[in-house]
Amino acid sequence: MTYATTDLETKTFRGFTSFHGLNRMIKLYHERRALAKLDNAALKDVGLSHAEAKREANRAPWDAPAHWYR
């Protein structure tokens, strides 16, 4: 008897399984949307300027820091 595997079971995304990678991208998308909604006082508390927050919020969900993939 042979067993088939799906692409989702075998493919990886930068070292993560597809399910884990997709879950991480969705979470990162939501985090960046929340960052975009912070007011100037909250941004000051976390040490970011409005321009830095906007730049980070506009990054693609798959554009994550390299240290997440080690």
The domain in which residue 42 lies consists of: 15-59
> Is 69 a member of any domain?
no
Number of domains in the chain: 1
Q: Does the pLDDT of residue 19 top 70, yes or no?
A: yes
The DSSP annotation for 20-65 comes to HHHHHHHHHHHHHHHHHT--HHHHHHHT--HHHHHHHHTS-TT---
Indicate whether 42 belongs to any domain: yes
Residue pLDDT, tens place only, 40-67:
999 999 999 999 999 999 998 888 877 7
What predicted TM-score, i.e. pTM, was given to this entire model?
0.65
The pair of structure tokens assigned to 52 is: 């830095």
For residue 64, being part of any structural domain is answered with no
pLDDT of residue 54: 95
What is the distance of C-alpha 41 from the center of its chain?
A: 24
Query: What span, in angstroms and rounded, lies between the C-alpha atoms of 70 and 50?
Result: 30
Provide the terminal-to-terminal Cα distance of the chain, rounded to the nearest Å.
37
